[in-house]
A and B are shown apart, each in its own frame.
Chain A
Amino acid sequence: MAFKHVNKGVKRVDAYEKVTGKAKFGADLEFANMLQAKVLRTEYPHAKILNIDTSEAEKMPGVKGVFTARDIPNNLFGVIVQDQQVLAEEKVVLAGDGVAMVAAESEKEAAAAIEKIRVDYEELEGVFDPLDARQEGALKLHPEKDDNQVIHHPLRKGDVAQGFAEADLILEREYTTQFIEHSYLEPEAVVVVPNEENHLVSVYGSIQNPYATRNAVSSVLEVELAEVRVIQNHIGGSFGGKDEVVSAMAARAAVMALATGRPVKMVNSREESFTESYKRHPYHLKYKLGATKEGKLTAMEIEAVADSGGYACQTPFVTWRSVVQATGPYEVANVKTDTYGYYTNNPYTGAMRGYGSPQVIFAQESLMDELAEELEISPVELRKKNMYQQGSVTASGQKLDRHTVSLNEVMNKAMEAIDYKKKYEQYSKKQPGDKKRGIGLSISFRGCSLGAEAIDAAASVIQINKDGSVAVYSGLAENGQGLKTIFSQIAAEILGVPMNEVEFKELDTSFTPDSGSTVASRATLIGGNAVKDAAEKLKQRIIDFSADKYDLSAEELALKDGFLYDGQGNRLATFADLTGEMGNSGILMSAYGWYKSPPISWDEEKGCGNPYFTYVYGCQIAEVEVDTGTGELSVINMAAAHDVGRAINPENVKGQIYGGVMMGLGYGIMEELELKDGVIQGTNFHDYMIPTIKDMPDIKPVIVENPDPDGPFGAKSIGEPTLELGSAAIANAVAHASGKRIRSLPLNLERVLIGRALHKGGK
């Protein structure tokens, strides 16, 4: 198929604003008469609130209001479980819970007043490890619940006892992963304006999921959804992170805006952002794996325990993705998997790019290499013996026959890109000196979109103006990933207009249709289909009108480059004249697009069904050098091959791969949020290091395209798969180079050299 706009590295439609400084982010917004607000957060991970005295704070200069939980109409919110407090009322469950807030004429005055609030606490014992939290008789964090368990997802297939009996070799291994910070460059920011244009409150700011934030604000204020308007501004990175934490911020600002009758702005400092935001779930992972001596897997028994922190947040869904994907992309006849989430007094954990997959992939792909070593066969051969092929049946019993299962292809292409075979042979020989090189790989399958978490549908609106310009509205949100550009390309392709005729409009919940959250790498797949649907409806209308007007059959007519053509390639009219004439003839030149995913299923009791309607496949390979004298670890080269179905914008896909690989590298070798009894030990980038430009390996992105029957132009997902594979590939390369198997993340230098961290608090 020859495309005009799709499958091309079209320039981003929002790049001009962003390179000129014109793009307005949350903190850049100003409104007349605006107040600034700050929150008092507790330092205690678990404590009863005995008394809050705001009297001194109220007398401070510039203060317009001091607020506590008593001022919040409905103090509980949450996307899945409503257990998160807008402001803590009777007790705090994590260090960073907000207890009071101040709105003042300036940020400085608000911050000064916060210092004057007196809170009396009774400190309580805390639980800081989910393995402690799950013990019978453990201290309960949420007294209204039976115990600390947030969720348990079982999955059963075949008979694991039988499977282990058939095995020649059984390996049992434990792996752990760490808390990490999203580290979006823009700290959270919102402004809430009261009583603007018939809305009780208008919420502006860096909001990942405007509809989720609207739900939270309306529920907290106890008003109808229609009274709350959320307008998304440019957002400085999110990666799953600007959801509940921003909803809480918006709800707080809304309460203050209504109480004072003035716009209220809240901007977090980096320290506040670290303290208050949710993190990636740390996991304890126990794997038991049986295999024949030929390397055929016979059984897998898996237990994954996630730390949910103080709130349930997204834990029920994060651990659900883990249960579906825990075996990795391997055919195993007998599987028993249990994933759990538990409350602790640690920072709460929620959505972060990957969403329950990076943890299990680190374990299962490390384990595959451990098994290969035991069996003395190559990591590639072991994987090829067991990995999903066309028509394979997954652990949950789903037959993979609706799309192309391309594991073999992504693996071969990644190996080729980095010259794997030669390097593997070379580095497997004895290497002289302290510096040793190694190469390691990992592979994955990943369910696209929400799956059985929730109804998966999205909408769009396209409006053709009388001058032929095209406005595109979507209920899904630009988060920096390039959604505006992708959706504009799809609209331009169908309508046959140049890209500069397409204008993507900002998301505003008062007129864009609710399309759920921009999560789960679903935007291109689900939202792209919705844009395509709207564009196709309009195209049909234009072709029908033209067939009548020119007395030609619809099949002879084509829209291309801003013109209408007949079957001989003659230009009949410009798009602008034609659509203008239609508008003037009273024809509706707007259309709603809608897309609902194909059917999926899940039996929560047995853990079986068809959890996702399609999957993507990826392979990443890391080449490392380890200095066995000093412990220095350098990732030199990485290859990342991902089947995206169809790359709507290959340059954007590469950007996702580079970014995801680097985020995966940070997860693999650098990043760890240090906690001491639930309290974060460093809340800025001098304590918490993320990869800089100097940490870059040479990255070879490989785009693999097997168009999916359900994707727009065959497109699937790319955002999350890019970061889930790196840590396992690097761990395998480190083991290949050094002979040392590290089973916990991050694989820091000290772990490579002396088997433990040198820095305070590090594991």
Chain B
Amino acid sequence: MAKLDVELKVNGEDYKLQVGSQERLLDTIREQLKLTGTKEGCSVGECGACTVIVDDQAVNSCMVLTAQVDGSKIITVEGLESKSGLHPLQKAFIEKQAVQCGFCTPGMLMSALALLNTNPEPSKEEIKTALEGNLCRCTGYQQIIDAVEMAAEEWGG
């Protein structure tokens, strides 16, 4: 099958890639770019483990074909930490014990990042709405909410 040429900017780096017409963004990220921080939990857009940021929007990368997002800017969990250290969200997730098994964590971080990028002072309800598509079976969500609130404060302040 003919491959398509796409260009992506992932975590600040430019990539020129060849992808199949039916290749999911999730597969491109995990298999071509070897960024395995993004997880596959259900493959039908229900669990949110594969959430990444595409042009400022949190999306389920299992539901998007890579060819559809040609030319986009993408952020994955690997793009959060910078030379100056951990992102405030990452620090807050550690500080508030918002991590247990850690499988939902990358997706949670991405959904929270998309929220704070557009709404730096979210209410508890707005946090819940932003994270509604991210399932977690371990934490009961409370410490994740605490972490997003802490990151918002730190970011804003």
A residues engaging B (CB < 8 A)?
A: 9, 11-12, 14-25, 27-28, 182-187, 234-239, 269-270, 479-482, 651-652, 654-655, 657-663, 684-686, 690, 692-694, 696, 699
Interface residue ranges of B71-90 to A (CB < 8 Å): 76-78, 80-81, 86, 90
- Taking CB atoms and an 8 Å cut-off, the chain B residues in 38-96 that contact chain A are 38-44, 46-47, 49, 76-78, 80-81, 86, 90, 93-95
Query: Which residues on the B side are within 8 Å of A24 (C-beta)?
Result: 36
Known A270-B44, A684-B44; contact A480-B135, beta-carbon cutoff 8 A: no
What CA separation (Å) do A685 and B142 show in the bound complex? 21
Q: Is the CB–CB distance between B77 and A21 below 8 Å?
A: yes
B132 touches A15 (CB 8 A): no
Tell me which of A237, A657, A662, A684 contacts B101 (CB under 8 A): A237
Which residues of chain B from 92 to 146 have a CB within 8 Å of any chain A CB? 93-95, 97, 99-106, 109, 128-129, 131-145
A658 in contact with B139 given A24-B36, A693-B131 (CB within 8 Å): yes
> Which residues in A have their C-beta under 8 angstroms from that of B102?
14-15, 17-19, 23, 234, 236, 480
Query: Please, which residues of chain A bring their CB within 8 A of the CB of B76?
Result: 21
Nearest-neighbour CB distance to chain A for B56, whole angstroms, equals 20
Q: Hey, which chain B residues are within 8 Å of A480, CB to CB?
A: 100-103, 138
Interface-centre pick from B46, B78, B81, B99 (highest chain A CB count, 10 A): B99
Q: How far is B30's CA from A655's CA once the two chains are assembled, in angstroms? A: 30
Residue of B44, B103, B136 ringed by the most chain A CB atoms within 10 A: B103
- Decide if A19 touches B99 in the complex (CB within 8 Å): yes
Taking CB atoms, residues of chain A closer than 8 Å to B49 are: 185
Q: Which residues of B contact A663 (CB under 8 A)?
A: 137, 140
Asked whether, in the complex, the Cβ of B36 is within 8 Å of the Cβ of A662, the reply is: no
Find the A residue at minimum CB distance from B129.
A694
B interface, CB within 8 angstroms of A: 30, 35-44, 46-47, 49, 76-78, 80-81, 86, 90, 93-95, 97, 99-106, 109, 128-129, 131-145
Residues of B within 8 A of A269 (CB): 43
* Secondary structure of the B contact surface, majority rule: loop
* Residues in chain B near residue A693, CB distance under 8 A: 128, 131-132, 134, 136, 141, 144-145
Q: Give chain B nearest CB distance to A266 CB in angstroms.
A: 14
Residues B36 and A9 in contact, CB atoms below 8 Å apart? no
Contacts A16-B94, A658-B140, A693-B145 given; indicate if A21 touches B36 (C-beta within 8 A).
yes
Whether A659 contacts B39 by the Cβ 8 Å rule is: no
- B46 closest partner in A (C-beta): A685
Contact check, B101 vs A185: say whether CB atoms are below 8 A apart: yes
Q: Is the CB of A20 within 8 A of B81?
A: yes
Query: Do residues A652 and B135 form an inter-chain contact, with CB atoms below 8 A?
Result: no
Contacts of A236 in B (CB 8 A): 39, 41, 101-103
Q: How far is the CA of A689 from the CA of B84 in the complex (A)?
A: 40
Residues of B within 8 A of A657 (CB): 140
Residue in chain B with minimal CB distance to A236: B103
Residues of B within 8 Å of A684, CB to CB, are 42-44, 46
* Contacts A20-B37, A238-B101, A699-B140 known; 4 new A-B pairs at CB < 8 A: A20-B80, A234-B102, A236-B102, A684-B46
With a cutoff of 8 Å between Cβ atoms, the chain B residues found around residue A696 in the complex are 128, 140-142
Chain A hits for B43, CB < 8 A: 269-270, 684
B residues in contact with A652, CB < 8 Å: 97
Q: Across the interface, do B132 and A187 meet the contact criterion of CB distance under 8 Å? A: no
B101: chain A residues within 8 A (beta carbon)? 184-186, 234-238, 479-480
CA distance A693 to B136 in the complex (A): 8
Chain B residues near A187 (CB-CB < 8 A): 40-41
Which residues on A sit within 8 Å (CB–CB) of B46?
A: 684-686
Cβ-defined contact, A185 with B47, below 8 A: yes
Q: Are A18 and B138 in contact (CB under 8 A)?
A: no
Closest 7 CB pairs of A and B: A21-B37, A480-B101, A236-B103, A658-B140, A18-B102, A662-B140, A21-B77
Q: Which of B44, B95, B131 contacts A686 (CB 8 A)?
A: B44
Give chain A residues whose Cβ lies under 8 Å from the Cβ of B144: 693
A183 (CB) vs chain B CBs: closest residue: B137
Residues of A within 8 A of B131 (CB): 693
Interface centre among B103, B106, B140 (most CB of A within 10 A): B140
Q: What's the dominant secondary structure at chain A's contact region? A: loop
Nearest-CB residue, chain B, relative to A481: B100
29 contacts between A and B (CB under 8 A): A11-B95, A18-B102, A19-B77, A20-B80, A20-B86, A21-B37, A21-B106, A23-B102, A185-B39, A235-B101, A236-B102, A237-B138, A239-B137, A655-B138, A657-B140, A659-B139, A659-B140, A660-B140, A662-B140, A684-B46, A685-B135, A686-B46, A690-B137, A692-B135, A693-B141, A693-B144, A694-B132, A696-B140, A699-B140
Taking the closest CB of chain A, its distance from the CB of B121, in whole angstroms, is: 19
Given known contacts A19-B90, A21-B76, A270 and B100 CB-to-CB distance under 8 angstroms: no
Would A690 and B37 count as touching, CB distance under 8 A?
no
Q: Give the shortest distance, in Å, between B118 (CB) and chain A (any CB).
A: 18
- Cα–Cα distance between A134 and B49 once the two chains are bound (Å): 43
Bound-state Cα–Cα, A20 to B39, Å: 12
Pick from A18, A182, A662, A699: contact of B99, CB below 8 A: A18
Q: Find chain A residues with CB under 8 A from B77 CB.
A: 19-21
| A270→B62 CA distance, assembly (Å) | 13
Q: Which of B43, B102, B135 has the most CB of A within 10 A?
A: B102
Q: Which partner residue on chain B sits nearest A655 by CB separation?
A: B97
- Interface-central residue, A28, A238, A479, A692, by most chain B CB under 10 Å: A692
Residues of B contacting A660 with CB < 8 Å?
Answer: 140
| Least Cβ–Cβ distance between A201 and chain B, in angstroms | 23
A238–B142 Cα distance when bound, in Å, is 20
Name the A residues within 8 Å of B97 (CB-CB): 9, 11-12, 15, 651-652, 654-655
**Bound-state Cα–Cα, A369 to B96, Å:** 37
A662: which B residues are within 8 A, CB to CB? 140-141
**CB atoms of A22 and B37 under 8 A apart:** yes
A12–B103 Cα distance when bound, in Å, is 15
Tell me the complex Cα distance, A27–B132, Å: 25
Query: Could you tell me if B37 and A12 are in contact, using CB atoms closer than 8 angstroms?
Result: no
Inter-chain contact A685/B40, CB cutoff 8 Å: no
Q: Complex formed: what's the CA distance from A694 to B127 in Å?
A: 10
Q: CA separation between A699 and B35, bound complex, in Å?
A: 36
Chain B residue at smallest Cβ distance from A21: B37
A444 to B141, CA, bound (A): 25
**Complex CA distance for A684 and B97, rounded to whole angstroms:** 28
User: In the complex, what distance in Å separates the CA atom of A235 from the CA atom of B103?
Assistant: 8
Q: Tell me which residues across on chain A come within 8 A of B81, comparing CB atoms.
A: 20
Q: In the complex the two chains form, is B139's CB within 8 Å of A186's CB?
A: no
Query: Shortest CB–CB separation between residue B39 and chain A, in angstroms?
Result: 7
The complex places the Cα of A17 from the Cα of B103 at a distance, in Å, of: 11
Q: Are A15 and B93 in contact (CB under 8 A)?
A: yes
